[in-house]
Amino acid sequence: MILQVDNVTKQFGGLTAVKNVTFGLEEGEILGLLGPNGAGKTTLFNCLNGVYAPTMGRIIFRGQDVTGYRPYRVARLGLARTHQIVRPLNELSVRENVVVGACYGREGLGLRAATRVADEVLELVGLHERSHQLASSLNVAQKKRLEMARALASHPYLLLLDEVLAGLNTAEVMGMLATIRKICERGVTIIMIEHIMHAIMNLSHRILVLNYGELIAQGAPAEVAQDPVVIEAYLGNPEMAEKLLEEEEI
Amino acid sequence: MSAWRQPGLWLPLLLVAAAAIWPAFGNNASLRETIFTMLMSVALASSLNILLGYTGYVNFGSIVFFGLGGYLGFYTVSALGWHLLLAVPIGGVAAATLALLLGSAVLRLRGAYFALATIGINEAMKALVINLDFLGGPTGMNLNFSIYQEYGGPAQALWLTYWALAVITLLVIVVSYLVKKSKFGLGLMAIREDEDAAEVMGVVAPRAKTTAYVISAFFPGLIGVLFFFKNGIIEPESAFRLHLSVELLVMVMLGGAGTVLGPVLGAAFYQRLRGLLLTSELFKNTQLVVAGVLLLLIVLFIPAGAVGWLRHRFAPLRRLLE
Ligand SMILES: Nc1ncnc2c1ncn2[C@@H]1O[C@H](COP(=O)(O)OP(=O)(O)OP(=O)(O)O)[C@@H](O)[C@H]1O
Ligand SMILES: [Mg+2]
């Protein structure tokens, strides 16, 4: 078990964004995290990597209780993430952005070794031709790749991907999916938040569904897609429900 | 080391060394005073740049380290009778210690709040010194003329002070360059760009920021000792002059925050300009106004400063100008 989440709750004032969430994660797994807008998916990520300390509950990462750890401590232990709203280091080059990930990630590499890792990762995500550009000059799709490259460069055990496919066109989505598969083959465990159903259904070994902060379903993709509770959760959003039903037919 | 082959390092070193040697020809004391001011500005601006330019924390009260170092160094020389060159590191260590003690608290503040807090630190330190009798209280301290005998007379003492400053200035530039090119410096720049994202990537921001703060305090502490020894007098109003802090900000911004060469050029240019303005009756009392207007123009039109602008405009210069 690489990650064990025990009864994690996160409140913002009166709002409970994540409520009593419990789940475990095996090494090498790709876990999909689904849920309507505002369900608490990003907040759960923020709790896992230390951006927020959970109001209640415990998070055990690779046998170590990391509840309430600062993000840099969690990062050092080998948990990396991307941001749903991209956060490039604008005035640094693309390569420098990725070198930061390698320098300060799990392995804490020196500059020279980190640069080598950065070049390798940039190649993997297809940004190598832009490595000397400033990060601010990238378009959104490229910035998403940069987020991914930075996280990967830290050589994490566990990678949290927050909607890396959102806003990408079909070709870009296909490219990104291939990249994620490659990462998984390298033995990195992944939790991914995604709204694009076919992507998450195809890629994930297992799916969790959050609604109003609560875990309402979990299981294999096919089971979850047919779960009446899940379908109902998406009924507030007919378009989503439709997509989900489409999935069933395929 | 390969760093010595980089123009980004030796260009500013060469400029500073050339300027520093100049007054030695013909034993020119008045030129020495001019260059002293210029070197001091270069070193103080470059120190400020480590926090302001690399880390992105605007320190409005950086002069507190200069004043504190100056005071303690002055005390060691005048009251304890120590040699100047022993007093200099004491000033530096005192300033660095203050930064270390305050750093973890004050660096939690961001943006304008941090800037305001640094002004507060400077004013608080001034108030403290005014109330310390052993440092001379509100009237400060004077050097006894007999002190100079140890150095072979006042003239020799002034030259010694000058050369010590020149060495420290070169050292500041080397440190500024090495920090910029290091893993530590990359962490600082990540903090400057987005502190939360940097922490998510594993940069231990509190520690990195405090270290940057300590480095940027250490050198002003050394220089304060030299400056007030040269002056022969120290008083709270001259040691903790807030407007000097503001002028340093202008120099860094003018030359290019976050570059090694920028603060060097910015400081030299600003001091030259100031020298010209001071001789004019009209501008004599308006130098702060000029500084303010300059700051406004830079922020509005060339936020990257001269060196930043050149680097941006002319790609081949990037290898040359750091
Ligand atoms: N820092 C915060 N302060 C207050 N409320 C917050 C904060 N962060 C998130 N929330 C609230 O918590 C709830 C969950 O938000 P979260 O961003 O986790 O949802 P999400 O599932 O990621 O949604 P989306 O699919 O839109 O990204 C929302 O109601 C949101 O407004
Ligand atoms: Mg979200």
For residues A57 and A168, the model is more confident at: A57
The SS3 call for residue A233 is: helix
Query: Average pLDDT for residues B230-259, to the nearest whole number?
Result: 93
Q: What is the pLDDT of residue A249?
A: 46
- Tell me which of B108, B200, B203, B322 to substitute to probe the interface with A (most A C-beta atoms closer than 10 Å): B200
Mutate to test the pocket of ligand 1, among A41, A45, A48, A196 (most ligand atoms within 8 A of CB): A41
Q: How many CB pairs under 8 A join A and B?
A: 77
A225 pLDDT band, cuts 50/70/90, is confident
The pair phi, psi for residue A33, each rounded to 5°, is -120, 115
Query: Average pLDDT for residues A35-58, to the nearest whole number?
Result: 95
Q: Tell me which residue of B65, B58, B47, B35 sits closest to B271, measured CA to CA.
A: B35
Residue of B186, B193, B202 with shortest CB distance to A154:
B202
Q: Is A101 in the pocket of ligand 1 (CB under 6 A)?
A: no
Query: Average pLDDT for residues A74-94, to the nearest whole number?
Result: 96
CA of A12 to the centre of ligand 1 (A): 9
Query: Average pLDDT for residues A11-40, to the nearest whole number?
Result: 93
- CA–CA gap between residue A109 and residue A112 (Å, rounded): 8
Residue of A75, A110, A114 with shortest CB distance to B200:
A75
Is A92 in the B-facing interface, judged by CB distances under 8 Å?
A: yes
The pair phi, psi for residue A206, each rounded to 5°, is -150, 155
Residue ID of nearest Cα to ligand 1 atom 30:
A38
Chain A nearest-CA residue for B182: A111
Q: Is A43 in the pocket of ligand 1 (CB under 6 A)?
A: yes
Q: Is A4 in the pocket of ligand 1 (CB under 6 A)?
A: no
Cα maximum dimension of chain B:
59
Ligand 1 atom, smallest distance to A41 CA: 21
Mean pLDDT of all residues belonging to chain A: 90
Roughly how many angstroms between the first and final C-alpha of chain B, as a whole number? 17
CA of A49 to the centre of ligand 2 (A): 14
Q: Is the pLDDT score of A45 beyond 70?
A: yes
Q: Is A39 in the pocket of ligand 1 (CB under 6 A)?
A: yes
% of chain A with per-residue pLDDT over 70: 94
Q: What's B138-193 look like in SS3?
A: HHCEECCHHHHHHHCCHHHHHHHHHHHHHHHHHHHHHHHHHHHCCHHHHHHHHHHH
The SS3 call for residue A158 is: strand
Q: What is the pLDDT of residue A97?
A: 97
Specify the pTM: 0.92
Is A112 in the B-facing interface, judged by CB distances under 8 Å?
A: no
Q: Is A37 in the pocket of ligand 1 (CB under 6 A)?
A: yes
- CA–CA gap between residue A154 and residue B202 (Å, rounded): 9
Domains and CATH numbers, chain A: 1-77+158-167+189-250 (3.40.50.300), 79-155 (no CATH)
Domains of chain B, residue spans: 2-7+23-241
Residue of B183, B200, B258 with shortest CB distance to A103:
B183
Tens of pLDDT, residue by residue over B157-194, are: 999 999 999 999 999 999 999 999 999 999 999 999 99
Cβ distance B242 to B67 under 8 Å?
Answer: no
Q: What is the pLDDT of residue B40?
A: 97
Rg (CA), chain B: 19
The SS3 call for residue B1 is: coil
Q: Is A38 in the pocket of ligand 1 (CB under 6 A)?
A: yes
Q: Render the burial of B82-96: b for 16+ CB within 10 Å, e for the rest.
A: eebeebbbbbbebbb
Using a CB-CB distance cutoff of 8 angstroms, which residues of chain B are in contact with residue A96? Answer: 186, 189
Q: What is the pLDDT of residue A240?
A: 65
Q: ipTM of this model?
A: 0.91
Q: How far is A240 from chain B (nearest CA, A)?
A: 31
Cβ distance A95 to A118 under 8 Å?
Answer: yes
Q: Is A156 in the pocket of ligand 1 (CB under 6 A)?
A: no
Using a CB-CB distance cutoff of 8 angstroms, which residues of chain B are in contact with residue A106? Answer: 202
Residue ID of nearest Cα to ligand 1 atom 24:
A37
CB atoms A103 and B198 under 8 Å: no
Using DSSP bridges, classify how beta strands A64-65 and A56-61 pair: parallel, antiparallel or unpaired: antiparallel
Q: How far is A150 from chain B (nearest CA, A)?
A: 8
CB atoms A104 and B201 under 8 Å: yes
Q: Which residues surround ligand 2, an ion (CB under 5 A)?
A: A 42, 84
User: Residue A52: how many CB atoms within 10 A of its CB?
Assistant: 19
- CA–CA gap between residue A210 and residue A217 (Å, rounded): 7
Helix axes A111-125, A94-104, angle to 10 degrees: 120
Chain B nearest-CA residue for A75: B202
- CA–CA gap between residue B123 and residue B118 (Å, rounded): 9
Tens of pLDDT, residue by residue over A187-204, are: 999 999 988 777 888 889
Tokens representing residue A28 in the block: 């090498």
CA of A84 to the centre of ligand 2 (A): 6
Query: Average pLDDT for residues A78-94, to the nearest whole number?
Result: 95
Q: How far is A75 from chain B (nearest CA, A)?
A: 5
Cβ distance B220 to B59 under 8 Å?
Answer: no
Cβ distance B192 to B184 under 8 Å?
Answer: no
Q: Is A42 in the pocket of ligand 1 (CB under 6 A)?
A: yes
Mean pLDDT of all residues belonging to chain B: 91
Q: Tell me which residue of B251, B270, B258, B260 sits closest to B62, measured CA to CA.
A: B251
Chain B nearest-CA residue for A102: B201
From chain A residues 28-57, the ones with a CB under 8 A of any chain B CB are: 49, 51
Query: Average pLDDT for residues A130-154, to the nearest whole number?
Result: 93
Query: Average pLDDT for residues B137-144, to the nearest whole number?
Result: 91
Using a CB-CB distance cutoff of 8 angstroms, which residues of chain B are in contact with residue A81? Answer: 200
Q: Is the pLDDT score of A250 beyond 50?
A: no
User: Residue A123: how many CB atoms within 10 A of its CB?
Assistant: 13
- CA–CA gap between residue A15 and residue A39 (Å, rounded): 12
Q: What is the pLDDT of residue B29?
A: 83
Cβ distance A160 to A79 under 8 Å?
Answer: yes
Total residues belonging to chain B: 322
Residue B103 Cα distances to A64, B120, B197, B206, B260, angstroms: 30, 14, 21, 9, 23
